[in-house]
Structure 1
Amino acid sequence: MRRSTERILTTHVGSLPRPGELAEMILARENHALDAAAVEALPAAIAAAVAVTVRTQIENGVDVVSDGEMSKIGYATYAKERLSGFKEAPVPEGGGLSIADLDDYPGMAQSSLAGLATATPTCVGEVTYTGRAELQTDMDNFRAALGTEPTVEPFLNAASPGVIALYLPNEHYATPDDYLFALAEAMREEYQAITDAGFILQIDAPDLAMGRHILYTHLDLAGFQRRAAVHVEAINHAVRDIDPDRIRVHLCYGNYQGPHHRDVELRDIIATVLQLRPHGLVLEAANHRHAHEWRVFEDLTVPEDKVIMPGVIDTSSVYVEHPELVADRIVQFASLLGRERVLPATDCGFASFATFLAVDPALAWAKLNALAAGARLATERLWP
């Protein structure tokens, strides 16, 4: 992973707004409703969207870029298309999840999760990896968009075993851990292929934080901490043969507009999270519920090999952050961790699901532009 050795570099979490027509085509694919002409047109539409998305990231000053996850219905549920053992399921509006903080305020889920539409099938058989062709197409599209001499560092997203288990229930394996580690072993092939192809791997693992108020609401804090440790173990198992400096892990609390009062505190999970073998850690640090948590690092010894990628842009707010505020947030982390180990990012993806947008696409790009502007200001302060 690149480090900020001469200036503050910038990145984001991965998912970016799909063009409207493409998002509708992907949703139609999810519903098995694509006509023959659309089936034929979809691959070219995805490739074109990746090209535009990569170019727009670079134009807005992003240094470590993704393909925007243009081909995926969702950052986690896409995995059902690349794994065996799952039966068909309908596409429920709102994702079909019970989310504790939204449940506390009846009626809020309907508005907060509007547009979140993705099938969540059940595991009914042995899980194996079958997505080689789909992954190869994603990598080919991304490489073509980057060109022969890219000036930016590319990363590709992949779902963690735990977040797949969060969305896709199990009826086959005898225990939750059997299922979790079967997913880890299957997804290991995707993780390895991404890094073998020369890309940085980002494992999206909101189960390490969001899991507290979705999958494990029945447990007390200590119980959740024990489960989070098992989820960390599953990730470490899956990446055991990959250079840890080629991997970053993103944890979050859910990129939806809600009260988030049930979110677990960073101080209660950070010791567990730091047991991750990967060197990069992407975390929320800009929104109203978590912007104070930079203080966790005041009294914490972070292993020297870790690169912290704090969210300095709130991806679920329509405010476009002022560059001075962005710079303040960056400098705050740099003063605690060292400027070389801070790679500012966004709190979450701007389009975690193809048809689910927390903010208007134009605002997403404006926010990334503000991120780059803030990084320039922070560079002036940190390299006087």
Structure 2
Amino acid sequence: MTRYATTHVGSLPRSQDVVDMIFARENNEPYEQAKFDAVMADAVDKTVKKQVMAGVDMVSDGETSKISYATYVKDRYTGFSGDSPRNAPADLKQFPSFLKRIADSGGTPQYARPMCTGEVKSKGQGELQKDIRHLKDAMAKHGAQQGFMNAASPGVISLFLQNDFYKTRDAYLAALADAMKAEYEEIVASGLDLQLDCPDLALSRHMLFTDLSDAEFLKVAESHVEALNHALENVPQEQVRIHICWGNYEGPHVCDIDMNTVFPVLMKVKASKLLFETSNPRHAHEWTVFRDRKAEIPEDRILVPGVVDTTTNFVEHPEVVAQRLERFGDIVGADRVIAGSDCGFGTFAGFGAVDPEIAFAKLESLAKGAALARAR
């Protein structure tokens, strides 16, 4: 692997024609499936080209066709209907004037979050197969050698699409794991890497499990990892990436559980590449956790620290990126460090704190910083 190779978390800004198509489907408005597919194929082609031009080594489809990184499952699996309760993160509740300002400004995405009200089963892999085809066609056209595709973890689905059918949360997690297995296996069978998005291992602590102690929450997180690893039983570890985060929003984040606490859980996931936040002001210091607990990092793990933030329009200087990478290179070696982003730039369709042009400027700076670190 290239020393200090480059990637990102997955989602990228969507064009307006893509957003219009997605929300036509979301709102049950009439649309032509053939036109929908053509718009998605064209958009994926363009977003892969932009990634290659920016210097990204491991590209994605930008999650172009998905309404969001977790709730897209409602369109591809049975068992979801109605609406799930909205619950603001605990840190925003501590600052109600800021929470009101966000709400009044329209700074929260609007999309359906149905509950699980029936048996979860796949509707087939047709939509996924289209996503894979669009990405691989674009990679071949623009010379991208490595690609990955995102998929929701059982835990994050249970966070946003809450259970109103299965007798227990564990039974719901088990059903989700069984249902998602085929999606995970389809992605890796195509030759792409699989990325599992797992904010449930951190964000859910201050969003859904605020009444628990840290020790009690870790037991919940362990159960999420067990369900995920079960779903991955037929997937080669070297083709799996996992992303953990505390919520991709600008806010105080004073209730975030610290990396040192969730570190042992993260290391138990069957994944070769670990993506995590290290750029934003709340977690930038936590590179020291990896330094101090180096002996607990399995030798087959590759660290993918976020070296650019995804909630501000500052474009990080390449030197800052290089310094951030070198910290981790000094811990596990440059050949086991990949430059990544803190989170996605287009977590929800039609919503993103970072201007689309600036998002790609950040990726270009990420690549320049990785080149600096590589050169020295």
TM-score, with structure 1 as normaliser: 0.93
Q: Which amino acid aligns with 2:174?
A: F
- Is the partner of 2:289 in helix, strand or coil? helix
Residue 74 of structure 1, aligned match among 68, 71, 80: 68
Is 2:182 aligned against 1:189? yes
**Greater CA drift, 124-133 or 305-314:** 124-133
Is 2:356 aligned against 1:366? no
The match for 1:27 is 23
Using the TM superposition, give the Cα deviation of residue 166 of structure 1 relative to its aligned residue in structure 2, in angstroms.
Answer: 0.4
The match for 1:340 is 335
Q: Which amino acid aligns with 1:100?
A: A
Give the conservation status (yes or no) of the 8 Å contact 2:90–2:207. Answer: yes
The match for 1:179 is 172
Aligned counterparts of 1:110 and 1:190: Cα–Cα separation in 2: 38
- Is the partner of 1:311 in helix, strand or coil? strand
The match for 1:11 is 7
Aligned counterparts of 2:175 and 2:101: Cα–Cα separation in 1: 35
- Is the partner of 1:269 in helix, strand or coil? helix
Is 2:49 aligned against 1:59? no
Aligned counterparts of 2:55 and 2:216: Cα–Cα separation in 1: 42
- Is the partner of 2:113 in helix, strand or coil? coil
Is 2:92 aligned against 1:99? no
What whole-Å deviation, never above 9, does each CA across 1:11-46 have from its counterpart, x for those lacking one? 00000000022113212321112x34x555221111
Q: Which amino acid aligns with 2:126?
A: A
The match for 2:264 is 271
- Is the partner of 1:156 in helix, strand or coil? strand
Is 2:251 aligned against 1:258? yes
Using the TM superposition, give the Cα deviation of residue 295 of structure 1 relative to its aligned residue in structure 2, in angstroms.
Answer: 0.2
Give the conservation status (yes or no) of the 8 Å contact 1:27–1:355. Answer: no
The match for 2:322 is 327
Using the TM superposition, give the Cα deviation of residue 251 of structure 1 relative to its aligned residue in structure 2, in angstroms.
Answer: 0.5
Using the TM superposition, give the Cα deviation of residue 97 of structure 1 relative to its aligned residue in structure 2, in angstroms.
Answer: 3.1
- Is the partner of 1:281 in helix, strand or coil? strand
C-alpha RMSD of matched pairs (Å): 1.6
Residue 287 of structure 1, aligned match among 277, 280, 289: 280
Aligned counterparts of 1:346 and 1:161: Cα–Cα separation in 2: 23
Aligned counterparts of 2:11 and 2:363: Cα–Cα separation in 1: 13
Off by >6 Å, runs of 4+ in structure 1: none
Residue 350 of structure 1, aligned match among 340, 345, 348: 345
The match for 1:198 is 191
Q: Which amino acid aligns with 2:161?
A: L
> Residues 39 and 240 from structure 1, CA distance in 2 versus in 1: closer, same or farther, beyond 3 angstroms?
closer
**Greater CA drift, 166-175 or 38-47:** 38-47
Using the TM superposition, give the Cα deviation of residue 148 of structure 1 relative to its aligned residue in structure 2, in angstroms.
Answer: 6.5
- Is the partner of 2:137 in helix, strand or coil? helix
Is 2:309 aligned against 1:314? yes
Aligned counterparts of 2:117 and 2:218: Cα–Cα separation in 1: 28
Aligned counterparts of 1:148 and 1:47: Cα–Cα separation in 2: 12
The match for 2:147 is 154
Between the two proteins, the alignment pairs up a number of residues equal to 371
Give the conservation status (yes or no) of the 8 Å contact 2:79–2:121. Answer: yes
Q: Which runs of 5+ in 2 are unaligned?
A: none
Residue 213 of structure 2, aligned match among 217, 220, 229: 220
Residue 145 of structure 1, aligned match among 138, 141, 159: 138
Aligned counterparts of 1:250 and 1:20: Cα–Cα separation in 2: 27
**Greater CA drift, 17-26 or 281-290:** 17-26
Aligned counterparts of 1:97 and 1:277: Cα–Cα separation in 2: 30
> Residues 109 and 43 from structure 1, CA distance in 2 versus in 1: closer, same or farther, beyond 3 angstroms?
farther
Using the TM superposition, give the Cα deviation of residue 89 of structure 1 relative to its aligned residue in structure 2, in angstroms.
Answer: 4.0
Q: Which runs of 5+ in 1 are unaligned?
A: none
Aligned counterparts of 2:173 and 2:160: Cα–Cα separation in 1: 12
The match for 1:303 is 298
Aligned counterparts of 1:148 and 1:367: Cα–Cα separation in 2: 24
Q: Which amino acid aligns with 1:173?
A: Y
Q: Which amino acid aligns with 2:333?
A: G
Using the TM superposition, give the Cα deviation of residue 88 of structure 1 relative to its aligned residue in structure 2, in angstroms.
Answer: 4.0
Using the TM superposition, give the Cα deviation of residue 107 of structure 1 relative to its aligned residue in structure 2, in angstroms.
Answer: 4.0
> Residues 366 and 111 from structure 1, CA distance in 2 versus in 1: closer, same or farther, beyond 3 angstroms?
farther
> Residues 258 and 149 from structure 1, CA distance in 2 versus in 1: closer, same or farther, beyond 3 angstroms?
closer
Identity of aligned residues (%): 46
Using the TM superposition, give the Cα deviation of residue 292 of structure 1 relative to its aligned residue in structure 2, in angstroms.
Answer: 0.4
Give the conservation status (yes or no) of the 8 Å contact 1:255–1:358. Answer: no
Aligned counterparts of 2:88 and 2:97: Cα–Cα separation in 1: 13
What whole-Å deviation, never above 9, does each CA across 1:332-383 have from its counterpart, x for those lacking one? 11001111110110000001000220211111011000000000100012xx
Aligned counterparts of 1:107 and 1:51: Cα–Cα separation in 2: 42
